[in-house]
């Protein structure tokens, strides 16, 4: 994986994106939302207004949780009209909270969009860079978009649900926002994959709680795992930090490149273990 990518994961379910949080499989073939050996999302691009978003800072305290602090690009002497915080958490499903704040002294109208797409490629297609074109069906309402691919008894689908009403299309979600001075607006998007085929049974996915509650729950689970792990002593700093090894419980991401790459994790910038 490139140093320009960032991974957020839970077991065999994970997102690989750029440092802004965008997924662009057309620019980085390893990008995507993966589960059950399938890429369920191949494009996930956030836009706020017409100016491109730029990264202010990035916080990834754990492998399952990340925050991206963004602002529209402006000139060196200009004030940014707004800021955007996107929080991403993986817990069998992908949950993303987007918060936009108006920093102007006047009311502001902003169009916020989330562009989406899927190719339902398997990991071998992604790794080899040879993704087949599939006929993807779409169902939508003003809170959700469901994309589905079927071939015989083989079926893959992904449903993206927004907590706030949106203008939806095959291409994603659009929100027209009128914000008072200093006002904030937020929405939570939940991405739920589903798979079915005759010889394999896949568990149904469900959200276990809000993003705040899940973050606290998963952090507590990690701390409990660390507390129960055996003591590890080493003169090597990279080995002495047991927290860096917690991610080893989540190994599916290695199938993309035949290696574990943890350089994108702020908690383990020095740990690179190559396999195969």
CATH of the domain at 85: 2.70.98
pLDDT tens profile 191-238: 999 999 887 777 788 888 889 988 888 888 888 877 887 766 666 655
Q: In what order do the strands lie in the sheet with 144-151?
A: 53-62, 65-72, 82-91, 93-102, 184-196, 154-162, 144-151, 137-140
User: Does residue 124 fall inside a structural domain?
Assistant: yes
Q: What backbone torsions phi and psi does residue 249 show, to the nearest 5 degrees?
A: -70, -15
Q: Which residues form the domain of 218?
A: 5-270
Is residue 239 helix, strand or coil?
helix
Lowest mean pLDDT across 25-34, 98-107, 150-159:
25-34
pLDDT score recorded for residue 247: 59
Quote the CA–CA distance of 127 and 141 in Å, as a whole number: 34
User: Does residue 276 fall inside a structural domain?
Assistant: no
User: Does residue 61 fall inside a structural domain?
Assistant: yes
pLDDT tens profile 76-94: 888 899 999 999 999 989 9
How far is the CA of 229 from the CAs of 34, 55, 103, 270, 271, in angstroms?
29, 36, 46, 21, 19
User: Does residue 275 fall inside a structural domain?
Assistant: no
Confidence of residue 274 (pLDDT cuts 50, 70, 90): very low
Closest CA to 6 of 62, 75, 71: 62
Tokens, residue 110: 């902003």
Which range of 3-7, 57-61, 65-69, 243-247 scores highest in mean pLDDT? It is: 65-69
Quote the CA–CA distance of 220 and 197 in Å, as a whole number: 35
Quote the CA–CA distance of 115 and 20 in Å, as a whole number: 14
Quote the CA–CA distance of 57 and 170 in Å, as a whole number: 31
Lowest mean pLDDT across 43-47, 170-174, 259-263:
259-263
Tokens, residue 35: 């589960």
Length of the chain equals 276
- Containing 124, the helix (H) or strand (E) segment is helix 123-128
Quote the CA–CA distance of 241 and 268 in Å, as a whole number: 9
Domain count, the chain: 1
Query: Span 28-51, mean pLDDT?
Result: 92
DSSP letter assigned to residue 203: P
pTM of the full structure: 0.84
User: Does residue 263 fall inside a structural domain?
Assistant: yes
User: Does residue 215 fall inside a structural domain?
Assistant: yes
pLDDT score recorded for residue 235: 67
Tokens, residue 207: 């959200």
Angle among Cα 153, 158, 160 to the nearest 5 degrees reads 160
pLDDT tens profile 92-102: 899 999 999 99
R_g over Cα of the chain:
19
Percent of the chain predicted with pLDDT > 90: 59
């Amino acid at each position: 994986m490139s140093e320009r990518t960032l991974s957020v994961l839970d077991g065999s379910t994970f997102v690989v994106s750029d440092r802004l949080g965008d997924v662009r499989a057309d620019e980085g073939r390893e990008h995507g939302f993966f589960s059950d050996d399938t890429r369920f999302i191949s494009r996930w691009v956030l836009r706020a207004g017409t100016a491109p978003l730029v990264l202010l800072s990035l916080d990834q305290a754990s492998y399952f949780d990340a925050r991206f602090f963004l602002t529209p690009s402006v000139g060196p002497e200009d004030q940014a009209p707004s800021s955007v915080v996107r929080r991403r958490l993986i817990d069998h499903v992908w949950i993303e909270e987007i918060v936009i704040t108006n920093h102007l002294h006047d009311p502001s109208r902003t169009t916020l969009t989330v562009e989406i797409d899927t190719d339902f490629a398997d990991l071998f297609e992604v790794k080899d860079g040879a993704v087949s074109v599939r006929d993807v069906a779409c169902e939508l309402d003003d809170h959700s978009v469901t994309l589905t691919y079927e071939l015989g008894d083989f079926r893959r689908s992904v449903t993206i649900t927004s907590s706030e009403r949106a203008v939806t299309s095959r291409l994603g979600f659009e929100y027209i926002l009128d914000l008072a001075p200093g006002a904030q607006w937020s929405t939570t998007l939940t991405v739920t994959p589903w798979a079915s085929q005759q010889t394999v049974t896949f568990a149904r996915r469900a959200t276990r709680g809000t993003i705040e509650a899940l973050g606290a729950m998963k952090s507590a689970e990690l701390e409990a795992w660390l507390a129960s792990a055996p003591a590890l002593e080493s003169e090597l700093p990279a080995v002495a930090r047991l927290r860096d090894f917690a991610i080893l419980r989540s190994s599916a991401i290695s199938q993309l490149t035949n290696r574990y790459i943890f350089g994108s994790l702020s908690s383990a910038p020095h740990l690179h273990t190559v396999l195969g």
